[in-house]
Structure 1
Amino acid sequence: MKVPSSLSSASMAKLSNSPWLMLLPKDGGCMLYNPREGKIERNLLEDFPGSRYLANSGNWFLVLDSGSNLFITDVFSKETIHLPSLESIRSRICTIKRIGDRGFLRLDITNILSCDDVRGLLWVDEGGKDYVVVWFFDREYDHDYIGFCKKGDTHYTDIPLFYPDNHWFKGLSEMVLTGYRLYITTSRRFVRVLDLSGSSFKECAKPFPMLSRYELCDSSIAVTTSGEVLLVESDPWDRCWFRLYKKDPDIEDPDSSCHALVEVDSLGGEALLLDLGFTVPANYTTLGVEPDSIYFTRHYRPSHWSGRDLDICVYNLASKSFNRFSDLDVTGLMDARWFLPGI
């Protein structure tokens, strides 16, 4: 990994084996924050003025530039890969036309879509030889489709988010991308699992419910290293607890059950980076990652729900205790995310 001149070798050594935070100020940029020392090291997007961070996979960032063009870049080596234009999406229901540098028009609706509403996910393999990019226009309660591309593609392929015969499988509330698997939580809290490895997408299984018995909780899905889907809940008012659930293996027909989940009290020694949506191996001594802990900033990614305040913390499931960072001022931040190079 190339060490940038503005980041010391000592800082890079610490960065390589412990979670840091990416801070996204309202006035632009993407700052790298060391929570152990309470200081900001550098602006990771200093070479891309006017650009906006969307997602990351380790050192690789998915970025939207000032001309509404997507690219991915290794923020340390500066290697950059330009992606197809947003209007190149091949859709079965509509086409997109660019309106200037910041607007897009879908021919099936009359509203102009803004580049400010573009959200995305990114996965890059360990050697940086392959990647998957997923993006969509984040229109609250009105998500019709998403687009994706892989290395070598010259266009995006659309994934419709509607089922004409089943409203339970429609819409989008959050997504997780792990390798070629895309997990989509529908508006009614069913989970679709899609395989993106082929020329199009393929449903891996029938969508299944991840419904909690508590309606007033904030929640997210997460995927373990073994591929198991979890539901993560927290108190939206005080954020004084987290709860974890998995599918109840004793329920034969989860579709006919109101609550098909069972609570669990451990991550099996792993840690959950909820901003990424999946667990990672955890060893505090060698990796700097706390086992059975949830690294949290907010729910409902990659959408950006208004009214959801940042709460940057680490929650330990065993001790049911929080570690918050009182020296970090979040008032000027648009967003923040936990960052682990190589993950």
Structure 2
Amino acid sequence: MDTPNGLMREEERRNVSENHDWSKLCPDLLRSILESLNSIDFHRAKTVCSDWYSIWKTCVKRPLCPWRIIYGKNSLMLVNPGEDKIYEGTNVGLSKDSYYMASSGNWLLMVDSHLDFYIFDLLTCERIDLPSMESSIRGGNVRFERNREHGVSEWGHFVDPCRKDRVGKDIMCRRSAVLWIDERTGDDVVVWIFNNHYLFSYKKGDDSWWNWNDHLNMESLNLSFLDLAYRNSKLYLYTTNGHIKIVDFSGNDPIEVIEKNPYREHPFPYFTNKGERICKTRMAIQRSGEVFIILNVLELISKWKPLFYIFKMNLESNIWERVESIGDDEVLIFGHGVTIRAPVQDVGDDGIKSGSIYFVRDDLWPICDCSVSNCGVFDLATSIIKWPKEVSFNNRYVKTQWFVPGFA
């Protein structure tokens, strides 16, 4: 039988447990706890509260290292080469028939077969739904008409006074989108191109999408969009005539940058050599704010060996030059639009190191046979490709994407 004193002590313990504010742990103790967590829980911990986030920022930083997302039918795996570890998860929070469009740190930009966009955090499963494309689209006389029938490949149409464009699953074959999100404040920007013609943007606080076609004077110049990138509150647009337009998103309303755009009058020229074929052209912004143009080139003489060429404009001569370096301790994921800080040292056996370009099968398909692996790592200095080991669900074909947890 418990004594009165024993009952009192038990009551005191319950009160302490119930009333203790876990956000006010001793900073040194909390820091020690956070640094002992595995990589997934380490990144999740910063979302607990503002106090934990403040302590998390003072922890010994783990190197930014590209991870792989392996998609299965009803689940997914996160492959961390730094720990040589696979984290298994579920698709909870991801809509059925969802398709990947872009990523920013832990966050994915997804679209489903109703052309509904949402942002999804891989580590916490938090989901943010974006406005419907069926709502009134600002900035131009264009609207989306959804197909109400189920089980058809045609999702709907974009309609304006001059044209009608079908929207379906093949949007993924020519997708081009960017996502930026500040995981501390929750501010986010989403921009995507459809059919090289329409340019839509959304910024946190907007109640609908914005159509940019009329504002960038594309129609009168007979131009269309080839790629886009976003960094430091600026959107960079690569057009069919090789020019780069810049739109400033730092204010309440985005504004095109004219006078301070060093690329405006200096288009990117490139003529293929004999035996070469350009598969895809992408743009990326360095941490310094300078622009890269990246060409995925296939070499016939090497049986369509994939290569990556990087070009950068010399801001003094205004001439585009091929460069052999991404930058000091920087790497890039093909199609993600920005360079990221490389790991301090080489990671694992998958070629994770400074000066590398990460790509997936879809970046080369259908021209190049990538049966070796779902993804690869291209060493810019040596032109050697490292093919990471395959990870699959029951030996069935799965999709792979690269992402960088903790990068923002």
TM-score by length of 1: 0.77
1:324 is the counterpart of 2:378: no
* Partner Cα separation in structure 2 for residue 240 and residue 112 of structure 1: 32
- For structure 2, the 5+ residue unaligned runs are 1-36, 44-61
Change (3 A) 1:321 1:189: same
SS in 1 for 2:298: coil
Question: How do residues 102-141 of structure 1 correspond to structure 2 at under 5 angstroms?
Answer: 103-108=155-160, 109-114=163-168, 117=171, 119=175, 120-137=177-194, 139=195
The one of 257, 266, 278 equivalent to 1:217 is: 278
Deviation per CA, 1:65-117: give whole Å up to 9, x if none. 45442221222223322211112221413222333277333333345423662
Q: Shift of residue 272 of structure 1?
A: 1.8
- Aligned residues of 1:57 and 1:342 also touching (Cα < 8 A): no
Q: Distance in 2 between matches of 1:153 and 1:305?
A: 36
Hey, which of these two has a bigger chunk of helix by percent?
2
Distance, in Å, in 1 between the alignment partners of 2:90 and 2:335 is 18
Is 1:244 matched with 2:310?
yes
Letter in 2 for 1:131: D
C-alpha displacement at 1:171, in angstroms? Answer: 0.9
Change (3 A) 1:134 1:145: same
Q: Which SS does the other structure have where 1:12 is aligned?
A: helix
Go from structure 1 to structure 2 and tell me whether the alpha carbon gap of 1:154 and 1:242 turns closer, same or farther (over 3 Å shift): same
Gaps in structure 1 of 5+ consecutive residues: 1-8, 253-259
Q: 1:97 aligns with which of 145, 150, 153?
A: 145
Residue in structure 2 matching 1:78, options 121, 125, 136: 125
* Aligned mate of 2:246, from 193, 206, 209: 193
Alpha-carbon offset, residue 62 of structure 1: 1.7
Q: 1:150 to 1:309 in 2, by over 3 A?
A: farther
Secondary structure in 1 aligned to 2:125?
A: coil
C-alpha distance in 2 between matches for 1:40 and 1:225 = 30
Per the TM alignment, residue 247 of structure 1 is displaced from its structure 2 partner at its CA by 0.7
Inter-CA distance 30–162: structure 2 relative to 1 (3 Å threshold): farther
Q: Deviations along 1:156-192, whole A, 9 cap, x unmatched?
A: 111117624433xx11222212242222211233222
Q: Distance in 1 between matches of 2:82 and 2:205?
A: 40
**1: CA distance between counterparts of 2:382 and 2:170?**
40
- The residue that corresponds to 1:5 in the other structure is none
Match of 1:181 in 2: 234
Question: CA 1:276–1:111 in structure 2 vs 1: closer, same or farther (change >3 Å)?
Answer: closer
How far does residue 229 in structure 1 lie from its aligned partner after superposition? 0.5
1:24-77: per-residue Cα shift (whole Å, max 9, x none)? 45x576542345687753346333240333222111222224544222122222
Q: Which residue of 2 aligns with 1:278?
A: 338
Q: For residue 377 of structure 2, what is the amino acid of its counterpart?
A: V
- In 2, Cα distance between equivalents of 1:29 and 1:68: 22
Equivalent residues of 1:35, 1:325 under 8 A apart: no
* Contact 1:59–1:75 under 8 Å retained in 2: yes
Identity fraction in percent: 28
Q: How many residues align?
A: 318
Calculate the TM-score normalised by the size of structure 2: 0.66
Q: Relative to 1, partners in 2 of residues 1:171 and 1:44: Cα closer, same or farther, differing over 3 Å?
A: farther
Shift of 1:328: 4.7
Cα deviation for residue 153 of structure 1 reads 0.7
Q: CA deviation at 1:217?
A: 2.8
Counterpart residue number, 2:55: none
Contact 1:190 1:211 survives alignment (8 Å): no
Quick one: which amino acid aligns to residue 221 of structure 2? N
User: Which protein shows a greater Rg?
Assistant: 2
